[in-house]
Structure 1
């Protein structure tokens, strides 16, 4: 009876681990898709040079308000903040590029501890992803860019 119970228990554990792994993989995929969509919404093409200047000024305010660390470098093409010492803290960078006659402003939110050294999700992955998605998704509305 003990051997049968051990076998049943072992199968149950294997089944639960398998389901958990499949669930984790699906959740990771869903989060990565949401982050990709947020990253796309964190990009603005400027209709005019005057709009671009106004958007860039608003972008600097946005980066300052949303980043856990202060701006360490800011010019006409880049706004950089330092990487935080604290794990789970979001920091934000912005770039302004021009190509083919179109100026584009884009922000990038990052979070220390989101990924492990091997690139796999870290312990703070879900928390970081939620914060990053919020920062990147809210960007266009904050600077006043139309969709």
Structure 2
């Protein structure tokens, strides 16, 4: 009887610790999700570049090249105002688009990214969220630096 009672106490203690561990893990995951969402919003802001008329065409061509290098899908449209890639067929695949918004003699170039499986219902974290967030953060945060590095005269 003492062995059964001791076993029951050990089992109960293990369940309690497991419950605490699961709750802590869920809280950490929720905190990471909020942090990533904040980082993704900042990355979108970082993926906006203004260019002057003299270098906008070159920057736009570089934008297409950058998208081709980072997207998991091929470019399906590339004209003077937009670049789009195909919609990914599988989860965890990133696709990109860009817009060129003329403003007088200058323009604003904006890189957008999305990933299949990143979000579930009601914008909840999807099954491929972590993989997608990493891809998008790297691509959007690296966009302006890529343009600066590869532009003529830099």
TM-score (structure 2 length as normaliser): 0.83
Residue 129 (1) aligns with residue 133 (2): yes
| Unaligned 5+ runs, structure 2 | none
| Unaligned 5+ runs, structure 1 | none
User: Which residue does 2:34 correspond to in 1?
Assistant: 29
Question: Partners of 2:133 and 2:124 in 1: how far apart?
Answer: 13
The 5-angstrom pairing of residues 1-147 of structure 1 reads 1=5, 3-46=8-51, 48-99=52-103, 103-144=107-148
Larger radius of gyration: 2
1:33-78 deviation line (CA, Å, top 9, x unaligned): 22122111111012x2122222111111111221111111122111
Structure 1 stretches of 4+ with a deviation exceeding 6 A read none
**Structure showing the higher helix proportion among its residues:** 2
1:81-127 deviation line (CA, Å, top 9, x unaligned): 11111221111100111358752101012111111244211121111
TM-score (structure 1 length as normaliser): 0.86
How many angstroms does 1:14 deviate by? Answer: 2.2
